[in-house]
Amino acid sequence: MTKCPICEKGTLKKAKVDEEMFGMSLGKYDADVCGKCGESFMSEAEMERMEAKAKELGIWGLGKRIKVVRSGNSLSVRIPAKIAEYLDLSEGKNVFLYPDGKNRIVVEVA
């Protein structure tokens, strides 16, 4: 049995894990999973399969780091074209914006 490199307490066992990206399911993949902390480790081949699925769904590369800028008395965040296209978001369309805890902002397309 292999010891978990993250928690160093559990052992790794073969399992199928559900993977998702940006809230979309990518399916189940073979992985070694720690019985103590639950961390999972996939082979390079499984990672490539997961990446291919994300590309097929059009969500690969959607995550971006964006700077917050001042606009009058407010702050603004630019929505990259690729994300706007994926969300079918265009100028004049309404969104609902709210905090989800202290470190996350949710923008729902109305």
Six token digits for residue 90: 């265009």
Question: What is the per-residue pLDDT for 10?
Answer: 95
* CA 87 – CA 8 distance, rounded (Å): 41
45 DSSP assignment = H
Cα torsion angle, 41, 42, 47, 53, sign: negative
Name the nearest CA neighbour of 19 among 28, 9, 10. 28
Question: What is the per-residue pLDDT for 95?
Answer: 96
Question: What is the per-residue pLDDT for 57?
Answer: 94
Question: What is the per-residue pLDDT for 110?
Answer: 87
- Domains parsed from the chain with CATH numbers: 12-57 (no CATH), 68-109 (2.10.260)
Task: Give 3-state DSSP helix, strand, coil % of the chain, rounded to 5.
Answer: 20, 40, 45
Q: Is 53 helix (H, G, I), strand (E, B) or coil?
A: helix
Within the chain, which residues score under 50 in pLDDT? none
